[in-house]
């Protein structure tokens, strides 16, 4: 008998939509843990199935092959930056913050997080062996962020580069901890002032 996330037995029969989404999230959680511990090449679908306590067939049905699992894990970070239910100019934000400032702060916090930095390091280390991995990472991550910024500013690539900047390099090298919200907001305000994009 399979087990639910709370340790109890899973109900038999067709899972509900919320159960399907929960199981998919559990698969992605397990995948991120394994990718960060063992790298992309060190993770097989058999290993992922064991970690997630599901069958390989379930992984294929809920997410796809290993490349699709990785892309889905990167895309999941996007939801923290770009909530899919609302367009950029109408997403919930801190009172008084412009749509641009709110998006930029979410970008800084998310892309400097331990998970995002860990996945970025992994892609850099394994891009030569798995070029499709790098392509998928860029398309599911930076390319989407730059496109979202292009709806708000005339210089999206320059802004995106500065939002990561030297702090992101230091994060990749393990020299600094993730920024607090206050630090992220200060960094964003400095970048927006530099590009004359402040409110």
Q: Which residues of the chain have pLDDT under 50?
A: 1-2, 5-6, 85, 90-93, 95
The tens digit of pLDDT for each residue in 105-157 reads: 999 999 999 999 999 999 999 999 999 999 989 998 999 999 999 999 999 99
Among 6, 37, 117, 21, smallest CA distance to 72 is for 21
What pLDDT is recorded for position 96? 53
Contacts of 105 (CB under 8 A, 6+ apart): 94, 97, 181, 184, 185, 188
Assign 3-class secondary structure to 128-171. CCCHHHHHHHHHHCHHHHHHHHHCCCCCHHHHHHHHHHHHHHHH
Count CA within 13 A, CB hemisphere, residue 130.
Answer: 17
- The answer, as to whether pTM is greater than 0.85, is no
């Amino acid at each position: 008998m399979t087990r639910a996330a709370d340790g109890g037995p899973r109900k038999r029969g067709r899972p509900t939509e919320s159960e399907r989404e929960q199981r998919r999230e559990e698969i992605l959680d397990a995948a991120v843990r394994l990718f960060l511990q063992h790298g992309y090449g060190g993770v097989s679908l058999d290993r992922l199935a064991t970690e997630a306590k599901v069958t390989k067939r379930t992984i294929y049905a809920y997410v796809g092959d290993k490349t699709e699992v990785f892309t889905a894990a990167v895309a999941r970070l996007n939801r923290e930056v770009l909530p899919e239910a609302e367009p950029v100019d109408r997403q919930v934000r801190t009172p008084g913050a412009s749509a641009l400032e709110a998006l930029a702060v979410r970008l800084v916090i998310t892309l400097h997080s331990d998970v995002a930095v860990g996945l970025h390091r992994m892609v850099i280390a394994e891009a030569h062996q798995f070029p499709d991995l790098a392509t998928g990472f860029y398309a599911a991550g930076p390319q989407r962020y730059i496109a979202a910024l292009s709806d708000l500013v005339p210089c999206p690539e320059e802004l995106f580069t500065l939002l990561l900047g030297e702090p992101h390099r230091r994060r990749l090298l393990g020299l600094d901890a993730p920024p607090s919200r206050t630090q992220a907001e200060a960094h964003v305000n400095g970048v927006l002032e530099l590009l004359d994009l402040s409110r």
